Structure 1
Amino acid sequence: MSKIPLSYKRHRFPRELIAHAVWLYFRFPLSFRLVEEMLLERGIVVSYETICRWNLKFGAEYVRSLRRKRAKRGDLWHLDEVRVVIGGHIHWLWRAVGQDGYILDEILQKRRNTKAAKRLLTRLLRQQGVRPRRMITDKLKSYGAAKRKLRLSVRHLSHKGLNNRAENSHLPLRKRERIMQRFRSPGGCQRFLTVFSIVRNLFVPPAANANALARHIHRLQAFAQWNTVTILAA
């Protein structure tokens, strides 16, 4: 069955403005009220409630057409977990980051144990379709136990100092968490992260792009892809 295209019908504002508001919210550490103010400065009067509805409706639809960055055979996988407090309860965000700094996958789970680590690895192997050359984690023993349960013949390096790439990947989330005054529910957090990480993957240049021209070209290509996705959604 073919997918029904997303429709902008019965929306008072043009699709270019809706796509721009969604891009602003997920690309930068902004609240809905700040996006409202930025649009007002351009003479566009739209409430933050409307911007919130746009992000809930269109954000997930856009990223369905944007594929996650896929790992290559022989890549390094950096795995890490970070604590997220939601409604007074501790959850753990398990994240896998490729050698170029792109987020390969992330799962919010209640536990920080072998079962949770195994779930992350199982999803990664299924979605990526390849095995890494090396797996780098912190000193949490659950990673090694999960690797043994899955019988992975992958070199595993467990050292906090080697895992800076994964640990640094949590910083943008922490900024958003402060702006949003924490997440309201685990489901809402997972939905937000799905869109946020894919949009960030699209626009942030890989670590190998050390010069300004390469970064500029990368972002121009990202804008072209974003515009294509938001137009095709019509």
Structure 2
Amino acid sequence: MRWRALMLPRMVEELLAARGIELTYETVRRWSVKFGLCIAQRIRSTALAKGDKWHLDEVVVTSNGKKHWLWRAVDQHGAVLDVLVQSRRDRHAAGRLMRKLLKKHGRSPRVLIADKLRSYAAANRDLGLNVEHRQHKGLNNRAENSHQPTRVREKVMRRFKSARHLQRFTSVHDQVANLFMHCRYSANAQDKRQARTQAFDAWKTVTSGSLQDRLAS
């Protein structure tokens, strides 16, 4: 659950040591690299169908003195559809994200929502999508808020080491966050506990299968 709590490997090492489990933080880091993406893929493959409104947004992230752009797509329920780290912020970068979304989900959205960056409209025209495109900063709060965990992690780690590191972290963390998303929006305590129990059951299923698949490979 390191990705869920945005914990550093050293923090996980200390928590396990308090429970009598001795290992190094480097072991935790290697486990994260080895099993993280596999777990994310399992979560994605077993997830329910996503919404038909796509909120797109981009945010700048600096690593080793170089700027990268983290492009993220979120549906109307707050579930992260995909993330993509790129070096540019133009129509080609926006188009690459949208093509990736179309390929992964196999359909176009009903509504496309973005801020006033012209690259989204240009990419929409290039792809020939016949969808409603809304551009207004106030409508895109879901996508903008989805960047907050990345900013928290960036602050804790004193910035990401590389674009590859950023891509790996967001690809795993966002899928784990999707799994526990309904725990945050439950109407009352009983519904919240039920949603949390279901999320933990799903977590056990995807992690056990992912570990077996990865160890067998």
Corresponding residue for residue 140 of structure 1: 117
Corresponding residue for residue 204 of structure 1: 181
- Aligned counterparts of 1:206 and 1:123: Cα–Cα separation in 2: 28
Where does the alignment leave 5 or more consecutive residues of structure 1 unmatched? 1-22
Corresponding residue for residue 119 of structure 1: 96
The AA in structure 1 aligned to 2:91 is: T
Deviations 1:121-157 (CA, angstroms, capped at 9, x unpaired): 1111111122222111111010001111111111111
Corresponding residue for residue 101 of structure 1: 78
The AA in structure 2 aligned to 1:129 is: G
Report how far residue 180 of structure 1 moved: 1.7
Deviations 1:144-199 (CA, angstroms, capped at 9, x unpaired): 01111111111111111111110000001111111122111111211121111111
Report how far residue 111 of structure 1 moved: 0.5
The structure that is helix-richer by fraction is 2
Q: SS at 2:43's partner residue?
A: coil
- Aligned counterparts of 1:63 and 1:147: Cα–Cα separation in 2: 28
Q: SS at 1:125's partner residue?
A: helix
| Runs of 4+ in structure 1 over 4 Å off | none
Deviations 1:87-129 (CA, angstroms, capped at 9, x unpaired): 1111101110001100001100000000001111111111112
- Identity among equivalent pairs (%): 49
- Aligned counterparts of 1:116 and 1:79: Cα–Cα separation in 2: 12
Corresponding residue for residue 218 of structure 1: 195
User: Of 138, 148, 155, which aligns to 1:171?
Assistant: 148
Corresponding residue for residue 49 of structure 1: 26
Corresponding residue for residue 61 of structure 1: 38
Corresponding residue for residue 53 of structure 2: 76
CA contact (8 A) 1:100 1:208 kept: no
CA contact (8 A) 2:50 2:79 kept: no
- Aligned counterparts of 1:215 and 1:127: Cα–Cα separation in 2: 30
- Aligned counterparts of 1:184 and 1:63: Cα–Cα separation in 2: 21
Corresponding residue for residue 6 of structure 2: 29
Corresponding residue for residue 153 of structure 1: 130
Corresponding residue for residue 162 of structure 1: 139
- Aligned counterparts of 1:133 and 1:209: Cα–Cα separation in 2: 26
Q: SS at 1:224's partner residue?
A: helix
Corresponding residue for residue 188 of structure 1: 165
CA contact (8 A) 1:204 1:219 kept: no
Where does the alignment leave 5 or more consecutive residues of structure 2 unmatched? 213-217
CA-atom RMSD in angstroms = 1.6
User: Of 82, 106, 116, which aligns to 1:129?
Assistant: 106
- Aligned counterparts of 1:160 and 1:52: Cα–Cα separation in 2: 38
- Aligned counterparts of 1:130 and 1:210: Cα–Cα separation in 2: 31
Instruction: Tell me the matched-pair count.
Output: 209
- Aligned counterparts of 1:99 and 1:208: Cα–Cα separation in 2: 13
CA contact (8 A) 1:101 1:207 kept: no
- Aligned counterparts of 2:121 and 2:192: Cα–Cα separation in 1: 37
Output the TM-score relative to the length of structure 2. 0.90
The AA in structure 1 aligned to 2:163 is: P
- Aligned counterparts of 1:26 and 1:87: Cα–Cα separation in 2: 23
The AA in structure 1 aligned to 2:165 is: G
CA contact (8 A) 2:183 2:196 kept: no
Return 169-178 or 60-69, whichever deviates more: 60-69
